[in-house]
Copies of this chain bind each other. A is one copy, B any other.
Amino acid sequence: MTSRKATKKFVKRISKSKVNRAVVPLVGRNKADSVSTIGYLCRGVVNAVSLRGAMDDLKERLGGKGAGLVALAKLSVPVPPAFNLSTDLCQEYLLHHRLPKIVWDKTQLAVGGLENNLKRKFGSESNPLLVSVRSGARVSMPGMMDTILNLGLNTHTVECLARTQPDNARFWWDCYRRLIHMFSSVVLGVEDRTFESILTDLRRREMVKSDSELSASALRDCCLSYLRAVSEENRTFPQDPWEQLRLAIEAVFRSWNTDRAIHYRKLNRISDDWGTAVTVQTMVFGNLNDRSGTGVVFTRNPSTGVKEIYGEYLLNAQGEDVVAGIRTPHPIKDMKGDLPKAYAQLVKILTKLEQHFLDAQDVEFTIENEKLYILQTRTAKRSAAAAIEHASQFVREKKVTTKQAIQRIGYEQVKQLLHPSLKPTAETPLVRGLPASPGACSGRIAFDPATALQYSRAQQKVILVRRETSPEDIMGMAVSEGILTSTGGMTSHAAVVGRGMGKTCVVGCSDLVVDEAHRMAEAQGKVLREGDFITLNGTTGDVYLGELPTEPVKWGKTAQNFFEWADKIATLPVLANADTPDQAALALELGAQGIGLCRTEHMFFDRERIQRFRLMILSESGKDLFQLADALKDYQRKDFVEILKAMDGFPVTVRLLDPPLHEFLPKIEDHDEVATLATELKTSITKLESRIRQLHETNPMLGHRGCRLGMTFPEIYDMQIRALAESLGERLLEGGKPMLKIMIPLIMSAAELQLLLKRLKAVFNETVALKFSSHPKVMKSIAKSLRWGTMIELPSACAIAAELAPHLDFFSFGTNDLTQTGLGISRDDGGKFVPVYVEKGIFKRDPFETLEVKSIGRLIEWAVKEGRQANKSLEIGVCGEHGGDPESIEFFRELNFDTISCSPFRVPMARLAAAKAELKLEK
């Protein structure tokens, strides 16, 4: 199809009313205007603005920025007039690579509206209307997409303006310089450094330190050099303001699909389908003079959570100067002295905004000639601790319910909460910067994102060290443990993105001189080179040489309270996968209500135990095997007693031996290890090698493991059952309230289960009778403290759930193996094609991360339904990795699972997810 045909077809499809809705005048200059000129709001959406749902609708269509402006206008907050091209148009544009004429006509009309409103004229030589063209998606993607400021100027109009307004000559050339740079970089693809080097040369020639010291004529030279540089790259900076506007709008739409935006969306699980809206807004000028300025302010501290106005500002600057971290800005409280009237007005507005949005806000403002404009407001991006602190403050202030508070906390934030902190240390920090994002980490220095990726691929921990970060650095930031910059404030790109990602981040470390070109940095006379280790403390801003020890974060009282709220909402108890008494204690601290998976094999990995275990594997006769297994029994019994004690009153689910035996032996290629082991085990190398070879499997995942070991080496399972029976009895004797659940792995057939259960129950009862027959208390309680179950981790087990269920107390879905066998993907080998499948959208996400509900979910659903039909009191749980994944948890809740279980560090996230799943069901 030719592009003309395509456009025609597209224009036909996009009806006039759709265009009317798509190009939306947003806000007038004053209250009256802000209502009368808002066509979109006139169609009955006005009253809905104050409602959450309606706000979400607006965000969906107008983007976060557009919706925020609507809300601000409704609150009579002063905002520069604007209109909006909605997100629908973005998808249309990306499909057809062209803005249809009808949309463009409407856009021109909307600019006319702004002109009328402000009594200025777009492209005028005397009283020009300048606009910014801003991106804004449904959710904030800070710095990921493009924005262009100061549109509407050309060389001719600027010459005229400078001539007729000599006092403002410097201002107009500065605006024009910024426009040429930004437009050429974003729309025409000219590299930033082209302009930066011209500016550096100019500063040198003029012998000034900062741009603000440059004279009008120097800036004029700068503009002309910029234009020449653009021409030399065979590009044209359009002199027609309308052409500037059209190209800028298109460029913003296109910026939805830059690599960094796509990557950011993948990281943050944002749909590629949403698209960005474009907001065209009248420029106000923080760079007009010294009674002008710009800043970013939070209504509450985004790092510590403290309830205080927190932010930064710069006089005589445009917003980009603050965010990009080029100049280090001043704390917001200094503004009280510089611009007292504007400051008082700002404080008032911030209070109003918080009262309206009922959450801490992150507000951008500009002051033009002492007049305050709010450019944007949004929910504050903040550290996890701050987010929880804020949510808790709002609950305490009775402004939101606990349910609302729960919804405000994201899973990435919970992960961040669990970041370690530095152990108390006597080391002196090398330098100190601003504590932009809390936590502690060590790693090798990388001076650019490519090197960071390289280290990361080589499994090296890395810390990205930059003068300042920009959106191009996003992938490097994602793979780094932490970020350190020498410039920029608490609201700089590095700080905002770092906090969002939950990375430890120290910014504005001005004593650190970073020389990216020579791949080195220097501080206190010490030279840091790429690959050197440093340690960051994001909570204090301290930077240390070398690697310092860290310790897990201790839960604050606020966090504990918060997760208890979640527990009260949730109906799905979260258990933990824990294999040792230590892990059990950690799980308990993190709020687990029991152990959903205790892998007995992990108890053998200690040096002494594994040698005994290996002897067992190498033995041949049944009697030997019995004795060798018996020698391991006491280790297991002690561990079980400890775990049952730590989890007293909570269920402890113990899985019998599962992995294939070869996992306990060295690889045949490791000749040295085989030789050492042969000596230790007092056997010959040949014999050991032959046993290793015998145990080798082509597809170990589908091999001789799980309860198949129990079937062929019954002595091992018998030993484990004896250890369990003894430990349960001991705990009862000690007066505890143990609740033991014994779980058989890898069941594939009902006959298999029945045979095993018969033997294991017999061994259990025999052991109990032998050890505790003289303790009536134990004998009486032991049956009540015991449950038998199986893992459902094979498709065949799902298919025969109805035959398994009557023999059991519980099912526990092993979703890792069920995913491997159900999809036929080995976790170890999927790396070669699973990423391609995710990229092509066949999988929404890695199926080992989020349950593939469409297929594996259906198998589970089937098994749950048939299992419950066959045994009304059957308990159903999950202990695969998906037990800690929020989206999967939602699915388990829908199927009325009785428990979920995940690794201890994921327990808080799972508790939150269980609460959110409940709230979703309530809707």
Q: Are B854 and A749 in contact (CB under 8 A)?
A: yes
Chain B residue numbers with a CB within 8 Å of A824 are 701-702, 706, 746, 748, 793-794, 796, 817, 821
In angstroms, Cα B803 to Cα A261, docked, is: 32
Alpha-carbon distance between A90 and B859 when the two chains are bound, in angstroms: 44
Is A826 a contact partner of B699 (Cβ separation < 8 A)?
A: yes
| Complexed CA–CA distance, A752 and B751 (Å) | 36
Q: Smallest CB–CB gap between A636 and chain B, Å? A: 24
A862 to B861, CA, bound (A): 13
Contact between B841 and A751 (Cβ–Cβ < 8 Å)?
yes
A712 within 8 A of B: yes
* CB-based nearest B residue for A754: B842
Whether the Cβ atoms of A697 and B795 lie closer than 8 Å is no
Q: Is B855's CB under 8 angstroms from A698's CB?
A: no
Residue contact A840 to B700, C-beta cutoff 8 Å: no
Which interface class (under 10, 10 to 19, 20 to 34, 35 or more) fits A?
35 or more
Q: Is the CB of B698 within 8 A of A828?
A: yes
Please choose the segment from A400-408, A529-537, A551-559, A830-838 that sits at the chain B interface, where 4 or more of its residues have CB less than 8 A away: A830-838
A843 contacts which chain B residues (CB < 8 A)?
A: 749
A697: B residues at CB distance < 8 A: 826, 828-829
| Chain A 797-839 near chain B by CB (<8 Å), digits 1 or 0 | 1111001000000000000010011111110110011001100
Measured in the bound complex, the distance between the Cα atoms of B844 and A750 in whole Å is: 13
In the complex, which of the residues B798, B817, B836, B852 contacts A711, with contact meaning CB atoms closer than 8 Å?
B836
User: What B residues does A706 contact at CB under 8 A?
Assistant: 824
Q: Check: A708 CB closer than 8 A to any chain B CB.
A: yes
| CB–CB A750/B702 < 8 A | no
Closest to A843 in B: B749
Inter-chain contact B822/A795, CB cutoff 8 Å: yes
Q: Which of B703, B752, B826 contacts A703 (CB 8 A)?
A: B826
Say how many copies of this protein the assembly contains.
2
Considering the complex, give the chain B residue whose CB is closest to the CB of A747.
Answer: B824
**Chain B: minimal CB distance from A77 (Å):** 46
A752 and B829 in contact, given A701-B702, A796-B856 (Cβ under 8 angstroms)? no
Q: Please, how many angstroms separate the alpha-carbon atoms of A697 and B826 in the complex?
A: 9
Select A702's contact among B796, B820, B852, beta carbons within 8 Å: B820
Which B residues touch A750, using CB under 8 A? 854
Residues of chain B within 8 A (CB-CB) of A771 are none
Contacts of A700 in B (CB 8 A): 698-699, 829
Cβ-based interface call for A755 (8 A): yes
* Residue A667 interfacial (CB < 8 Å): no
Closest to A832 in B: B704
Q: For the complex, what is the distance from the CA of A837 to the CA of B747, rounded to whole Å?
A: 12
A858 within 8 A of B: yes
Which residues of chain A (723-759) have a CB below 8 Å from chain B?
Answer: 746, 748-752, 755
Min distance, Cβ A655 to any Cβ of chain B, angstroms: 16
In the bound complex, do residue A755 and residue B711 qualify as a contact, i.e. CB atoms below 8 Å apart?
no
A698 and B826 contact, CB distance less than 8 A: yes
Let me know if B829 and A703 touch, CB within 8 A.
yes
Residues of B within 8 A of A701 (CB): 698-699, 701-702, 824, 826
Kindly name the residue among A701, A748, A833, A852 whose own CB sees the greatest number of chain B CB atoms within 10 A: A748
Known contacts A823-B748, A824-B794; A702 and B702 CB within 8 A of each other: yes
Note all chain B residues with C-beta closer than 8 A to A828.
697-699
A829 partner residues in chain B, CB cutoff 8 A:
697-700, 702-704
A841 to B754, CA, bound (A): 12
Q: Least Cβ distance of A365 to chain B in Å? A: 46
A672-705 interface (Cβ within 8 A of B): 697-704
Which residues of B are found within 8 Å of A854, using beta-carbon distances? 749-750, 799-800, 803
With contacts A796-B823, A832-B712 known, is A840 near B755, CB below 8 A? yes
Interchain CA distance A895-B798 in the complex, whole Å:
20
State in angstroms the CA–CA spacing of A294 and B14 once bound together. Answer: 101
Q: Are B699 and A749 in contact (CB under 8 A)?
A: no
Are B711 and A800 in contact, CB atoms less than 8 angstroms apart? no
Residues of B within 8 A of A794 (CB): 822-824
Nearest-neighbour CB distance to chain B for A751, whole angstroms, equals: 4
Which of A701, A799, A824 has its CB near the most chain B CB atoms (within 10 A)? Answer: A824
**In this complex, what residue of B is CB-closest to A859?**
B799
A833 and B817 alpha carbons, distance in the complex (Å): 19
Closest to A833 in B: B708
A750 vs B701: C-alpha distance when bound (angstroms): 25
Query: Of the candidates B796, B800, B836, B855, which one forms a contact with A796 in the assembled complex, judged by CB atoms under 8 Å apart?
Result: B855
Assess A796 versus B852: contact at CB under 8 Å? Given A711-B840, A752-B842, A842-B752: yes
A840 neighbours in B (Cβ, 8 Å): 711, 751, 755
On chain B, the residues within 8 Å of A704 by CB distance are 829, 832-833
Inter-chain CA distance A820–B711, complex, in Å, is: 19
Give the complex CA separation of A140 and B800 in angstroms.
36
**Contact status of A711 and B837, CB under 8 A, knowing A755-B842, A799-B822, A829-B702:** yes
Min distance, Cβ A807 to any Cβ of chain B, angstroms: 14
> Do residues B841 and A748 form an inter-chain contact, with CB atoms below 8 A?
no
Q: What is the CA–CA distance of A910 and B767 in the complex, to the nearest angstrom?
A: 53
Contacts of A797 in B (CB 8 A): 855
Measured CB to CB, the nearest residue on chain B to A820 is: B702
**In whole angstroms, how far apart are the Cα atoms of A752 and B823 in the complex?**
12
| Interface 1/0 per residue, A480-509 and B, CB below 8 Å | 000000000000000000000000000000
Q: How far is the CA of A685 from the CA of B182 in the complex (A)?
A: 52
Q: Which residues of B contact A703 (CB under 8 A)?
A: 826, 829, 832
The CA of A825 and the CA of B706, in the complex, are separated in Å by 11
Complex: A711 Cα to B794 Cα, angstroms: 26
Q: In chain B, what residue has the closest Cβ to A701?
A: B699
B residues near A702, Cβ cutoff 8 Å: 699, 701-702, 820-821, 824-826, 829
A711 lies within 8 A of B833 (CB)? yes
A713 to chain B, nearest CB (A): 10
Residues of B within 8 A of A755 (CB): 840, 842
| B826 pairs with A749, CB closer than 8 A | no
CB contacts (< 8 Å) of A699 on chain B: these are 699-702, 820, 826, 828-829
Given the interface pairs A699-B700, A820-B702, the reply to whether A800 lies near B858 with Cβ below 8 Å is yes
Compute how far the CA of A855 lies from the CA of B751 in the bound complex, rounded to whole angstroms.
12
Q: Which of the residues B712, B796, B826 comes within 8 Å of A822, measured between beta carbons? A: B796
Q: Which residue of B lies closest to A844 (CB)?
A: B751
Q: In chain A between 759 and 792, which residues have their CB closer than 8 angstroms to a CB of chain B?
A: none
Q: A750 to chain B: closest CB distance in Å? A: 7
Which residues of B are found within 8 Å of A859, using beta-carbon distances? 795-796, 799
In this complex, what residue of B is CB-closest to A695? B832
**Residues of chain B with a CB closer than 8 A to A711's CB:** 833, 836-837, 840, 842
Bound Cα distance from A800 to B697, whole angstroms: 31
Q: Do the beta carbons of B833 and A712 come within 8 Å of each other?
A: yes
Report the Cα distance A751→B843, complex, angstroms.
8
Chain B: minimal CB distance from A81 (Å): 45
Give CA–CA (A270, B458) in the complex, Å.
60
Specify the chain B residue showing the minimal Cβ separation from A697: B829
B751 engages A842 (CB within 8 Å): yes
- Bound-state Cα–Cα, A828 to B706, Å: 17
| Measured CA separation A859–B752 after assembly (Å) | 19
| CB-CB nearest in chain B for A819 | B796
Most central of A796, A800, A833, A841 by chain B CB within 10 Å? A796
Q: How far is the CA of A803 from the CA of B852 in the complex (A)?
A: 15
Q: Which residues does chain B contribute within 8 Å of A852, judged by CB atoms?
A: 749, 796
- Distance, CA A854 to CA B802, complexed state (A): 11
Specify which of A708, A799, A822 lies most central, judged by the most chain B CB atoms within 10 Å of its CB: A799
Can you list 28 pairs linking A and B with CB atoms under 8 Å apart?
A698-B701, A698-B826, A699-B702, A699-B826, A701-B701, A701-B702, A702-B702, A704-B832, A704-B833, A706-B824, A711-B837, A711-B842, A712-B836, A748-B825, A749-B823, A749-B837, A749-B842, A749-B855, A751-B840, A751-B842, A755-B842, A795-B795, A795-B798, A797-B855, A799-B859, A799-B862, A800-B858, A862-B862
Nearest first, the 9 A-B pairs at minimum CB distance are: A795-B795, A796-B855, A699-B826, A702-B826, A698-B828, A799-B858, A703-B829, A697-B829, A699-B701
Instruction: Given A702-B824, A799-B856, output 6 extra A-B contacts at Cβ < 8 Å.
Output: A697-B828, A699-B701, A702-B821, A749-B855, A755-B840, A795-B859
